[in-house]
Structure 1
Amino acid sequence: MTSHATTAATAPLDLTPRPGAAPTRQMLRAQSVMELRLLSRNGEQLLLTLVIPVLLLVMGTRSTDIVDLGEGRAIDIITPGVLALAVLSASFTSLAIATGFERRYGVIKRLGASPLPRWGLLLGKITAVLVVEAVQIVLLCGVGLALGWEPSGGVGAALWLLVLVALGTAAFGALGLLIAGTLRAEATLAVANLVYVLLLVGGGLIVPLSRYPDSAQKILELLPSGALGEGLRAAFDGGGPGLLPVVVLAVWALVAGLLTSRTFRWE
């Protein structure tokens, strides 16, 4: 017994290198966690994705004399629009700015040369965006309900929320990566913020399309912002959003995704 223990204790350690990458699932999980950590440390991104939507939700219900929202309770009209705005802020503006500067500083290039597949890098970013959106939806729905929001539609409305948010995330995310992968970081910052402001003010997110002139309605309902905002309002109003918002968001996601796959530059 003693001899066997002594032999085991004095046996040389096996220090033979074992090169190779970690399993793909483990790399994807690590990449997603890193993306979330980077986002949580960026005060500007947190302001954009969480603070501004909450402030708009609270202030919007108290300033209906400034913006004509049409018939109905202001909180029931604004809450779905703010949910759509949250999707825009997380999957487009925040994603575009972060990716643009990562590309400028060479982070994207180095990660693209790592064992993590390039599609895995993008999937990690998308996973982080989906986690952020889940937090946004829970927070904004909670604030909306506390302010008196009374959504209709029950389980059907919740399912439509998931479908529309997924399509909206795909559309806005593809557009954000398209900008970040082709423009310089400073130009990406300017364009992403400009688009955010323009769609917030006149993109059919907060204000229903029925309050716009007829000519503007026909244009806005074909934009991803108008389709998402109007689709969520219709879903929580007790009826389904119809086919048009779903088709519009799917087409934008498909076209922007194809363009991104062909034009995205890793450095």
Structure 2
Amino acid sequence: MSTAATTTTTRPAPSPVRPVGPLALALRQGRLELRQFLRSRESVVFTMLFPVVMILIFASIFRGDLGGGVRFTQYFVTGMIATGLMTVGFQSLAIQIPIERDRGVLKRFMGTPMPRWVYFAGKVIMVAVIGVTETVLLLAVAAGLFDLTLPQTADRWLTLGWVSVLGITACTLCGIAFSSLARSGRSASAVATPIALVLQFISGVFFVFTELPTWMQQVAAIFPLKWMCQGLRSVFLPDSFAAQEPAGSFELGRVALVLAAWCVIGLALCLTTFRWTTRRDG
């Protein structure tokens, strides 16, 4: 009588799933946002390349100087850097988020175990990466083709850094808050784009700020773009040009104060007005 030997195989216990840290979650969402942005040719052209195209056009047409050895290109590049930061921070988010809301992306995100802050972290990372890339590209084009004089001291580079960080932070928060005003993704561009264009015209981007009507200067002083341009002028223009500013100086302390105030205002609006679903969803 033979007995059949039976063998039992033991499967190794599954390895425990390692929890993903907050930083890793944010970076993953940021990579996803960047890939989606780069896949859209329209977004790349109108968000990232618009300031570069504008500097090529204006610098090729206006080759004179504004007095005191300040060339128009040197003045214009400050407005284009500020415009680029506003475009990627405010305008792109004010259009992109309503489209995602309409498509149900935000609603599906709410149904996942992912913390809600991860969605915003991804947007912030996308804006930061594109903003830095756009600024570097703009400076390279202006310096290579139009002899832009780059900042010569560490203090000026530091000013470029904090003005850009405060400015793009304020614009990003305002863009997220503004995204709740559009009734649909289709109408988002019609709501956000005119506001961005008007701010550019009254904030000293295309024209010397002090040559604008006084009432226009006063309206522009309410919003961040004017102060971003003014802070950047202190970086790229000589100290003597400060006398041509409305207050007779670059007022860097006030620039920091106003931009910081808009960061607080933008954050408060985000927390109180942001909607994850469309109005028809309730």
Q: Verify same fold: TM over 0.5.
A: yes
- SS of 1:266's partner is coil
Aligned to 1:32: 30
- In the alignment, the residues of structure 2 paired with residue 133 and residue 187 of structure 1 have an alpha-carbon distance, to the nearest angstrom, of 25
Aligned to 1:75: 73
Which letter does structure 1 place at the counterpart of 2:122? Answer: G
Q: Relative to structure 1, is the Cα distance of residues 70 and 214 closer, same or farther in structure 2, using a 3 angstrom cutoff? A: farther
| Contact 1:108–1:266 under 8 Å retained in 2 | yes
Aligned to 1:166: 165
In the TM superposition, what is the alpha-carbon distance from 1:196 to its structure 2 partner?
2.2
Aligned to 1:242: 252
Aligned to 1:125: 123
CA RMSD in angstroms, aligned pairs only:
2.4
In the TM superposition, what whole-angstrom CA distance separates every residue of 1:210-240 from its partner, at most 9, and x where no partner exists? 1212332232233211111121012222446
Q: Relative to structure 1, is the Cα distance of residues 70 and 219 closer, same or farther in structure 2, using a 3 angstrom cutoff? A: farther
Aligned pairs for 1:1-267 within 5 A: 10-14=9-13, 22-64=20-62, 70-71=66-67, 72-146=70-144, 147-184=146-183, 185-239=185-239, 242-267=252-277
Aligned to 1:4: none
Which letter does structure 1 place at the counterpart of 2:188? Answer: T
Which letter does structure 2 place at the counterpart of 1:112? Answer: M
- SS of 1:62's partner is helix
In the TM superposition, what whole-angstrom CA distance separates every residue of 1:233-262 from its partner, at most 9, and x where no partner exists? 122224465222222211122112101111
| Contact 2:49–2:134 under 8 Å retained in 1 | no
- Structure 2: give runs of 5+ residues left out of the alignment: 1-6, 240-249, 278-282
Percent of residue pairs identical: 25
Bigger CA drift: 29-38 or 105-114? 105-114
- TM-score using structure 1 length: 0.87
- In the alignment, the residues of structure 2 paired with residue 263 and residue 56 of structure 1 have an alpha-carbon distance, to the nearest angstrom, of 34
- TM-score using structure 2 length: 0.83
| Contact 1:205–1:228 under 8 Å retained in 2 | no
| Contact 2:83–2:205 under 8 Å retained in 1 | yes
| Contact 1:230–1:245 under 8 Å retained in 2 | yes
- In the alignment, the residues of structure 2 paired with residue 23 and residue 121 of structure 1 have an alpha-carbon distance, to the nearest angstrom, of 15
| Contact 1:182–1:264 under 8 Å retained in 2 | no
| Contact 2:203–2:217 under 8 Å retained in 1 | no
| Contact 2:75–2:236 under 8 Å retained in 1 | no
Which has more radius of gyration? 2
Q: How many residues align?
A: 257
